[in-house]
Amino acid sequence: MAPLRLRVVGQTFRDPQNREITLRGINAAADAKYPKTPDIPTFISDKFFDGDDVSFVGRPFPLEDAHVHFKRLRKWGYNTIRYIFTWEAIEHAGPGIYDQEWIAFTIEVLRIAKKYEFFVFMDPHQDVWSRFSGGSGAPMWTLYAAGLNPKAFKVTQAALVQNTYDVPAEFPKMIWSTNYTRLVCQTIFTLFWAGRDFAPKAIIDGENIQDYLQNHFIGACAYLAQMIHEAGDLEGEVIIGWESINEPHRGIIGVQDISIIPAEQQLQLGTSPTAFQAMLTGSGRACEQAVWAFGSFGPYKTGTELVDPAGEMVWLPADHDDSKYGWRRDPGWKLGECIWAQHGVWDPSTDTLLQKDYFSKNPQTGEHLDYEKFTNSYFLDHYRNYKNTLRDIWSDAIMFCQPPVMEVPPDVKGTDDDDPNMVHAVHYYDGLTLLTKHWNRLYNVDVIGVLRGKYYTPAFAVKIGETAIRNCLRDQLKFLRDESLNYMGSHPLVFTEIGIPYDMDDKYAYKTGDYSSQTSAMDANHFALEGSASNGFALWVYVTQNDHEWGDQWNGEDLSIFSHDDLELPAGTASRSPDPHSPAYSESHSNGENQQVGPRNLKGALATPSITSDVSQPSLREAKGYRAAEAYLRPSPTYVSGRLKDHVFDLKNCTFTMALTAKGPTTAHAPTEIYLPEFHFPKSNLGVTVSGGKWDIDVQDIQSVKLQRLRWWHADGEQDIKVEGIKRKPGEFASPGEDVTYLEQCQKGDCALM
C-alpha cells in the first residue's frame, strides 16, 4: 500500500518525504446546507415543510460543474477542502432510509476533487440543529421524534426561521444564531447530549431520545463513510479524515438558573427570553420578553415585547399520529405537554417554576454542571463513540475534534483520549465585525481574553487602532493554539472556520466597487492566522450561488469569497519551466551569506503585460469590484523541509517572509515549497533573499491549473527567506470601474505598479 499523502506527526502534518504540510483550505460549498430539489434557500417558503421529499443530489454543486469550481479554488492556491454535507442529505426520508443516489453522487464529486490533488476532510455540518429551526443539518423527522411541531415555531418564537418570516428580505441580520438560546435548540440539544439524565421519560422505539438521535446521526455518517471506504480509491488519496459535528451546543445543560439570562450568554438580539420564558411561550402562554439590539459596543436592551402564541403550542398535540415514521413512543412520554413540565421543572397548571436549577446538575448523580463539565463529559462521550465508529471503518482516519465554539477544550492531555491521529478543529470569527457587518478601524475587543477572565473589567479588553486590532486578532488565535496544547496535548490545530462578511455597511461595496473595508478585514484575519502558529485553516466560505441580493442564500449571510456579481481578480500567465538564466532563478551555497536576486523590471512587465482579463463576458462588464481577492490570494508555505517557525505576508508592502528550522539539508526531490500567486508575484518582477541554498520559480500543472511555486533547497539549521512582489497603491483594486478592466488600466498607464 502506498504511503498516505498526509499523516499526523506530533503537532504537524507530514508528507511521505517528511516535509511539514500547511493546510490552506476553504469550506466548499455552503450551498450544501439546503436541498437541490426542490431548490429551497432560506428566503423561499414554497414546499418548505415537505422536508421528507427532497434531494441533495447536485449539492454542493452539479457534477458537470465540479471541474469549474475545483479549478477555481485550486487557481486561488487552496490545497484543502472542508467538504460540507448534512445529516439531512443522507437520511431525509425517515429513520434508517439512506439516500443512495446522493451518496453515489458525493463519491463522484470527491473523485473529481482527487484529480486536483486536494486534501479533503468531511464536515457533518449543522447550524441551530436543522433548516426547520432556522439553520441546517438534521432531518425534519428528528424534530417530530423529539415531540416538536415545526409548523408552530413561528408563532411561539421557539425558533426564528427566515423561510417562514413575513418578509424574508427583512429578516434581521445574524438573528438566526439566537436560535441556540430559544426553546427548540435548548430542548433538542439537551435531549441529544443528555436525554438519559434530563428526560428519562423520553423513550422512543425502546431507547431514550438521546440514544435514538445520536445513534441515527452516527449511523448516517458511518454509512456514508462505509460507502466511501468501499469505493476503494478515496481514503488516504483525497480524503484525509472526518470532523465531528459542527459547532456543538450544550442546549441548557449547565445553566444554573433558567429564570434569568446566563452571564455567559454573549449574544442577545431581538426578543431574548430566559429558558423558562421560552418554555411558557412554547406552551402557548403570553409572555413579556426583553428586546435587544447589537450596536458598536455590543448588545444593548431596547425595551420589551409581548410574545403571545394565543394558546398555540410548540409541542405535538396529544392525538398526533406517530405512524408516519414507524416509531413507537413510550406511553410515559405524553404528547401535548412540555417535556420539561413532565420532568417536574415547572407546573403548567399554575405556570410556576419549580426547579430553576434543574439543568445545573446531573439529576441522576447531583454532580455540578457547567460548560467545561459538559465538554468533558457529554460532548466527549459522543465524540468518542463517533470516532470509534468511523475508525472501525477506516483505521487511518484523522479525526478533527471540534469542541464547543469559544469554550475551553476538553482536558484530554495524557489520557486515553489523547489520540495521536487527532486534530483540534477550532472556529473563530471577529464577532464585532460579523454582527455589525462593519470593519471598525478604530477599535475592537479581545473577546477570548474576556471569556477566559484575562481582564479585571471588559473595558481593558478594548484595542484602539488598526495595528492594535490586527495584533489582537493574532494574539487571540495564538492563545487558542497555546490553550489547545495545554488541554488537548501535542496535536495539530486547524481553524476550520474563519471569515468575514462581505455585505458590510449596507452593501456599500456592491454599489461602489469599493472593497477596501473587506480587504482590510480579510487581510487582518489572514495576518492573525499566519501569526497563530496553527497548522492551517479552512476559510468560511465558498458559495457557488452567491449574489449581491441574497448573499450566501442562507439567513442573510454573505461570507462567500466568490460571487456571480463580482469580478475575479486578474492573474498573471505562468511560464511552464524555470530558466536558470532568468532573474527568477537563484543559486547560492549554504555559506551564511544573504543574497538578493531577481531585480524588478517594471518597464519590461508593462511592455509585455502578464495580466489578462476576459472582457467579452457581460457579467464582468457589469461587475464593479474584485471582492477583496487581493487579501485572500496570498503566498503560503505548502511543504517545509524541517519545522516551520513563522511566516507572514505583508499585503501593504507585498512582502512574504518565512523562517524554518531544518534537521538536515533538503534532498533534490523534496525541497521546501511556497505557493506564490502570480498576481502579487509575477515571475519577471519579484525579488528573493535567502539565508542560503538555491531556489527557483516553478509552475505546477494540476489538471491544467498553473500554480506558481518557489522551490528552495537549503541546508540544515535556521533558515529564512524573503520574497518581494509588486507593491501597489492602497485601494487600487477597491473600485476598478464598471467597464474598465485592469488590463485596460495598465494599457493606459494607470495600473500603478511600483
Query: Are 641 and 662 spatial neighbours (Cβ–Cβ below 8 Å)?
Result: yes
- Quick one: CA dihedral 521, 525, 527, 528, positive or negative? positive
Burial of residue 584 (number of CB atoms within 10 Å: 0-12, 13-18, 19+): buried
Count helices and strands in the chain by DSSP H and E runs: 19, 30
- Quick one: CA dihedral 414, 418, 419, 425, positive or negative? negative
Query: Are 500 and 559 spatial neighbours (Cβ–Cβ below 8 Å)?
Result: yes
Q: Catalogue the active-site residues.
A: 247, 497
Choose among 43, 219, 28, 39: nearest CA to 125: 28
Measured CA to CA, the distance from residue 421 to residue 280 in angstroms comes to 46
A 10 A CB-CB count for 457 gives: 7
CA–chain centroid gap for 167, Å, is 28
Residue given cell 435548540 in the structure block = 185
Strand, helix or coil for residue 2: coil
Measured CA to CA, the distance from residue 441 to residue 445 in angstroms comes to 12
User: What are the φ/ψ torsions at residue 449 (nearest 5 degrees)?
Assistant: -60, -40
Burial of residue 2 (number of CB atoms within 10 Å: 0-12, 13-18, 19+): exposed
Three-class SS of 518-583: HHHHHHHHHHHHHCCCCCEEEEEEECCCCECCCECCCCCCCCCCCCCCCCCCCECCCCCCCCCCCC
Q: Considering all CA atoms of the chain, what is the largest pairwise distance in Å, rounded to the nearest integer?
A: 89
State which amino acid sits at residue 97.
I
Q: Alpha helix (H) ranges present in 290-441?
A: 371-374, 380-393, 431-436
A 10 A CB-CB count for 16 gives: 12
Residue given cell 491521529 in the structure block = 421
Enter the DSSP assignment of 691: S
User: 390: which 3 cell numbers?
Assistant: 468511523
Rounded to a whole number, what is the distance in angstroms from the first to the last CA of the chain?
51
What is the full DSSP assignment across 461-484?
GEEESHHHHHHHHHHHHHHHHHHH
What is the full DSSP assignment across 96-129?
T---HHHHHHHHHHHHHHHHTT-EEEEEE--BSS
